């Protein structure tokens, strides 16, 4: 079996070594395609591989068509919106993710971004503290739970809304479950997004929802840019001069936001939420192990299609 690690944004070298070790111990071969800049490079490399490990790399119908021997794609991470599930399923290709493996890294960055904003982008002027502020966790999955755990240490009042997660689970963590996104946004000065990008959630963070936010609110996005209605966001930022948008995913309208709201808008230059040594090891090794297990025993535990 030939297993391709295709990462436009590479794992740490140490993690790559560990992933290769899992693959080679199983008697399989590793092919490495890192930092590629053209889709053509990916198309040429996939032609004879049996499995692919990716991060946010786009595995669309064209890539799947080019990968004649492909049997499994594992997204080393949580969100699998970068993989065309329909095209994969049509070829009986299994798609998996590695849930939870990088969630602490993303949760920690959420607080890095919150403090950076609360301290006025470290410009030296008096900022504010997180203690005593109300935090709204929008979706209570693996990242949301880690955010709640860390928020307790900061002494924040913690609320969550998740359409799929039962209230009892949220309450068990000392978090107050709310009944709607509107209620969450109306209650919390900080709202942290942890929803996946799906047909239902795309563009769902719109002006009507944002209008619920209290004065001096901050929206932190370490999830996906596609969930934001960016036209609405830009209009809302223009109307509400006390509102801040802080993100780990460069928006489509980054240039506009940067020019118009330099003191209330910040994006990391490249998505770094899961970019830690620990998260790279966890997600990368899990991806390789899931592939080996799938080939050796047929285990499909983390299949998403």
Nearer to ligand 3PG, 79 or 127 (CB): 79
Distance CA 178, CA 174 (A): 13
How many residues belong to the chain? Answer: 305
Can you read off the two tokens belonging to residue 25?
Answer: 């111990």
Nearer to ligand 3PG, 102 or 117 (CB): 102
Minimum distance between the CB of residue 162 and ligand 3PG, rounded to whole angstroms? 17
Note whether 59 and 83 are within 8 A (CB). Answer: yes
Residue 160 backbone dihedrals phi, psi, to 5 degrees: -145, 150
Beta bridge partners of 246: 220, 266
Pairing label, strands 157-161, 134-138: parallel
Residue whose CB is nearest to ligand 3PG in the complex, by number: 77
Minimum distance between the CB of residue 189 and ligand 3PG, rounded to whole angstroms? 25
Helices (H), 26-141: 39-45, 61-66, 85-90, 103-118
Nearer to ligand 3PG, 99 or 177 (CB): 99
Which residues of this protein are in contact with ligand 3PG, per CB under 6 A? 9, 55-56, 77-79, 102, 271, 273-275
Can you read off the two tokens belonging to residue 109?
Answer: 């960055």
Minimum distance between the CB of residue 98 and ligand 3PG, rounded to whole angstroms? 8
Nearer to ligand 3PG, 111 or 236 (CB): 111
Can you read off the two tokens belonging to residue 110?
Answer: 């959420």
Nearer to ligand 3PG, 83 or 217 (CB): 83
Minimum distance between the CB of residue 287 and ligand 3PG, rounded to whole angstroms? 10
Minimum distance between the CB of residue 273 and ligand 3PG, rounded to whole angstroms? 6
């Amino acid at each position: 079996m030939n297993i391709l690690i295709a990462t436009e944004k590479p794992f740490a070298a140490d993690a790559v070594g560990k992933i290769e070790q899992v693959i080679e111990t199983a008697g399989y071969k590793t092919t490495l395609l890192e930092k590629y800049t053209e889709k053509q490079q990916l198309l040429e490399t996939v032609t004879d591989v049996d499995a692919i490990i990716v991060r946010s790399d786009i595995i669309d119908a064209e890539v799947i068509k080019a990968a004649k021997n492909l049997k499994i794609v594992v997204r080393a991470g949580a969100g699998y919106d970068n993989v065309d599930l329909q095209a994969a399923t049509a070829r009986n290709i299994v798609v998996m993710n590695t849930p939870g493996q990088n969630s602490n890294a993303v949760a920690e960055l959420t607080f890095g971004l919150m403090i950076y904003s609360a301290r006025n982008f470290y410009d030296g002027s008096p900022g504010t503290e997180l203690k005593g502020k109300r935090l709204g966790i929008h979706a209570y999955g693996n990242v949301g739970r880690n955010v709640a755990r860390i928020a307790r240490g900061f002494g924040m009042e913690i609320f969550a809304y998740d359409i799929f997660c039962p209230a009892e689970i949220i309450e068990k963590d000392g978090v107050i479950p709310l009944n709607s996104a509107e209620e969450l946004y109306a209650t919390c000065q900080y709202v942290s997004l942890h929803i996946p990008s799906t047909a239902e959630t795309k563009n769902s963070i719109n002006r009507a929802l944002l209008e619920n936010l209290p004065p001096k609110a901050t929206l932190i996005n370490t999830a996906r840019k596609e969930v934001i209605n960016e036209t609405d966001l830009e209009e809302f930022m223009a109307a509400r001069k006390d509102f801040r948008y802080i993100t780990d995913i460069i928006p489509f309208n980054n240039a506009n936001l940067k020019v118009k709201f330099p003191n209330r808008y910040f994006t990391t230059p490249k998505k770094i939420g899961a970019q830690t040594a620990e998260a790279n090891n966890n997600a990368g090794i899990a991806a390789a192990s899931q592939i080996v297990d799938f080939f050796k025993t047929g285990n499909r535990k983390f299949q998403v299609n």
